[in-house]
Homo-oligomer: A and B are copies of this chain.
């Protein structure tokens, strides 16, 4: 939609992780005028080779990638447990960083990363792609322009079409860190405020195996901000009708809603109903434009020094909220956030 207006600047990139999201980021990066995908690193050599071939890159291992001084930036799409190590390595080597969420499942470790990138002075961006979504970004811009006055209340609905395998859930850090981390980031971004108290409750309603793994699949979270604004988040691992990503913000002079996107604009009128499409199937479809804009944003930050919209500090803040929510849920009480 938007054509790059910036003069092409050469940027050499190493991509870590050749899975689903790695392939998407690689393709979007490749579209930036000056980007050269130099290395793809993945323990799955076959996946690495396929992705490398597609973009004229080479397969490398960690040492190979970090040993090449010409690499300007790393794009980290590998498994969560490798994020912080790769961020620290990249920062130490003075390379710009794009890293998928979360920074790390452990807050201490995430803080270490935030400190490291700050010291290194590199561009470091976390993959909260929702902030780059055309609908969400337009809503935010209109909110900031004062269209509905002062924000007062935010309602976030965030439901997946189905739960991931229980094996995944066991290593996910729990629903608050794995799934709601995006919603916590939306909360901070839209309300432009920080949490004072968090209350979370939840249930396991779709699959007993999730409860057996110590997790829940449905949550209801309430945040009250330092300025007294209210936020309610509701999430579910399973919505029969598909991926549901909506939010609405009530302001002193009106309300802005961000609705779901549909694959087509067909409406069918039959004897029983007037029917429209269910929402885009899942995040890859729903956030296709967001992923493209995210990489353009990263490229712009790297080449022009513009600030990133989703920093490692943002990743850290979302993680703190996830921890607080998990604590609230486990102990059945309201949690007050420090500082």
What is the interface of chain A, defined by CB distance below 8 A to chain B? 1, 134-135, 138-139, 142, 147-150, 152-153, 155, 157, 159, 197, 199, 201-206, 218-220, 222, 224, 228-232, 234, 236, 238-242, 244, 250-278, 285, 288, 332-334
Contacts and interface: CB of A to CB of B under 8 A. Distances in A.
A218 B251 CA distance: 11
A224 to B, nearest CB: 5
Contact of A239 (B255, B257, B332): B255
Contacts of A202: 230
A65 B285 CA distance: 39
Contact of A265 (B153, B155, B261): B261
A291 to B, nearest CB: 13
A78 to B, nearest CB: 22
Contacts of A159: 250
A244 B254 CA distance: 11
A268 B253 contact: no
Contacts of A267: 256-257, 259
A201 B218 contact: no
A251 to B, nearest CB: 8
Contacts of A204: 228
Given A272-B275, A274-B275, 18 more contacts: A1-B285, A138-B263, A150-B205, A152-B236, A155-B155, A159-B250, A197-B201, A202-B230, A241-B271, A241-B274, A256-B267, A257-B266, A262-B274, A273-B278, A275-B275, A333-B333, A333-B334, A334-B334
B218 A153 contact: yes
Nearest to A23: B3
A230 B234 contact: yes
B220 A153 contact: yes
A244 B138 CA distance: 22
Contact of A270 (B199, B254, B259): B254
A183 B166 CA distance: 36
Given A155-B234, A250-B239, A273-B273, A264 B138 contact: yes
A197 B202 CA distance: 11
A205 B152 CA distance: 7
Contacts of A269: 239-241, 244, 254-257, 278
A256 B240 CA distance: 12
Nearest to A285: B1
B240 A148 contact: yes
A260 B265 contact: yes
Contact of A199 (B201, B205, B236, B268): B201
Contacts of A266: 135, 138-139, 142, 256-259
Contacts of A288: 1
23 contacts: A139-B266, A148-B270, A149-B240, A153-B218, A197-B201, A199-B334, A203-B228, A204-B228, A220-B224, A230-B234, A240-B255, A240-B271, A253-B270, A254-B269, A255-B269, A256-B267, A256-B269, A272-B275, A272-B278, A273-B276, A273-B277, A275-B275, A333-B334
